[in-house]
């Protein structure tokens, strides 16, 4: 059974870079037909897609965040990562990683999520 | 961006009730519509893909319908474990977008 788990600092200072890693177990990240994706949920708000990456390294980002986002993949470690630069309080959110179906775009499964707070 | 609007935003119902949640897209998305269940502190759970196809392992009391711009999620007989927030998501075009959520509460 495929499982995903987010890890990284829970507190980031304004203007710094948020860095998270998603570790995949129970299956390979080198799965044809699937992306690794990041989705976030600010407190009291809805879900926002951040971006997705194929195991080849091809990426697709939300234009609203594109200038600040980098998603990368490390197939040797079965992981993919998120970097979000120049963070502000508006980036405070629960960050989820998920597997995304290439052809139909659904997200399944998801990690448990990790709360990242941007504060000095 | 395609805007997804869910209604109602919240809903109170009792165990055994039949409930319907509506999701409307700002433009046609064919059948590229997915539904998720989310409980506090848990990973979102994938329920329905392609508007009406039930994900493996999801109880048959859940069903979805619609195409184009208007979609519904129906729970035929609410169970205690169904009280959660439900989100629709369009996968027709990027950026992928979600509805604002419908919180289903116990009456």
Q: Across residues B64-84, what is the average pLDDT?
A: 97
Nearest CB neighbour to A63, from listed B41, B49, B95: B95
Contact of B6 with chain A, judged by CB distance below 8 Å, is answered with no
**Model pLDDT for residues A105-117, shown as the tens digit of each residue:** 999 999 999 999 9
**Model pLDDT for residues A68-86, shown as the tens digit of each residue:** 999 999 999 999 999 999 9
B30-33 own/partner pairs: CB under 8 Å, 24+ apart: B30/B67, B30/B68, B30/B92, B31/B66, B31/B67, B32/A104, B32/A105, B32/B90, B32/B91, B32/B92, B33/B64, B33/B66, B33/B71, B33/B88, B33/B89, B33/B90, B33/B91
Binary contact (A108, B99; C-beta < 8 A):
no
Q: Which residue of B has its CA nearest to A51?
A: B95
């Amino acid at each position: 059974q495929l499982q995903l788990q987010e890890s990284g600092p829970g507190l980031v200072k304004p203007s710094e870079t948020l860095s998270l890693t998603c570790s995949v177990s129970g299956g390979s990240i080198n799965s044809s037909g699937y992306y690794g994706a990041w989705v976030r949920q600010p407190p009291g708000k809805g879900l926002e897609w951040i971006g997705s990456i194929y195991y080849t390294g091809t990426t697709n980002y939300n234009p609203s965040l594109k200038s600040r986002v980098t998603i990368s993949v490390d197939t040797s470690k079965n992981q993919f990562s998120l970097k979000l630069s120049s963070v502000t309080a508006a980036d405070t959110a629960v960050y989820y990683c998920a597997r995304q179906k290439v052809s139909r775009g659904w997200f399944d499964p998801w990690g448990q999520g990790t709360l990242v707070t941007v504060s000095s | 961006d395609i805007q997804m609007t869910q209604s109602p935003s919240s809903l109170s119902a009792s165990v055994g009730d039949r409930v319907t949640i509506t999701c409307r897209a700002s433009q046609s998305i064919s059948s590229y519509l997915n539904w998720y269940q989310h409980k506090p502190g848990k990973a979102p759970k994938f329920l329905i893909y392609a508007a009406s196809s039930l994900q493996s392992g999801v109880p048959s009391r859940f069903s979805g319908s619609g195409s184009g711009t208007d979609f519904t999620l129906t729970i035929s007989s609410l169970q205690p474990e169904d009280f959660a927030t439900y989100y629709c998501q369009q996968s027709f075009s990027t950026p992928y977008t979600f509805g604002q959520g419908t919180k289903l509460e116990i009456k």
